[in-house]
Amino acid sequence: MMLREPDEATGWGAVPDNPVGRAVAVFAERTWPGEAMTAAERRELERRAGCGAWVETPDSGGTVDAPTDDAVARRMDAALAVARKTRDLAARVLAKRGALRPFACETRPGTSAWALDLAALGVDGPLALDRHGRLRDALRGLVDLWVEGDRPALVLVGGPADAGAAEELRAWCETLLCQFGTGRGWDAQPEVLRIEAP
């Protein structure tokens, strides 16, 4: 297989002149194909790649710990964590867009929790047939985030305003995760929780 570098035709803009920039452009295009990369995201990935390889860049002032945007850094943390755990493109894209992220679940010690923003899937209202399929596909890709021995938890952010519809959606997601997770060796059945969108 021949590697090709992204260019303006693929939506990634001009290929950077520096080796770290070139490597980041190729990595990003393969990890999140078709997804636009902001300048801040590109800088954050270049900073991480430079730190990993201990490469100094001309504007780093001799240090690899250049200042970073905290929101972009958190989003890239989640995106890279998901990219390491699953080959599912939908899950990787959701994480890159900030719709899928790790979730600290203090009330459930020992759980491995992820939050999924339903508004990003267009599932923040009544669950129509097209939204139903979109959410099912997303959930199928998310099961790779939990490994053998995990106690999986998924936190749905937002969703229908009606309490009955919201509970029905939560229970449906829990049933699907149980089905998709069969045989994965989890320590407990997946639990789906719901919080209101901020």
110 pLDDT above the threshold of 80: no
Instruction: Determine the Cα–Cα distance for residues 130 and 137; give it in Å rounded to an integer.
Output: 11
* 172-198 average pLDDT score: 88
Mean pLDDT score of the chain = 78
> For the chain, what percent of residues have pLDDT higher than 90?
18
- Any idea which of 4-13, 79-88, 96-105, 149-158 has the lowest mean pLDDT? 4-13
Question: Would you list the domain boundaries of the chain?
Answer: 11-68, 81-195
pLDDT of the residue at 123: 63
Q: Where are the alpha helices (DSSP H) in 86-162?
A: 89-96, 118-121, 129-142
Look up residue 83 and give its two tokens.
């990219």
pLDDT at position 53, please?
Answer: 46
Note the helical H segments in 54-184: 70-85, 89-96, 118-121, 129-142, 163-180
**In terms of pLDDT, which residue wins out, 50 or 13?**
50
User: Which is more confidently placed, 97 or 2?
Assistant: 97
pLDDT band at 142; cut points 50, 70, 90 = very high
pLDDT per residue as tens digits for the range 146-173: 989 888 999 999 888 888 888 988 999 9
The answer on pLDDT for 52 being more than 60 is no
The pLDDT of residue 131 is 64
Coil, helix or strand at residue 111: strand
Q: Please state the pTM of the whole predicted model.
A: 0.75
Q: Which two tokens stand for residue 57?
A: 């860049």
Give the SS3 label for residue 140. Answer: helix
Residue among 27, 65, 22 at smallest CA distance from 47 = 65
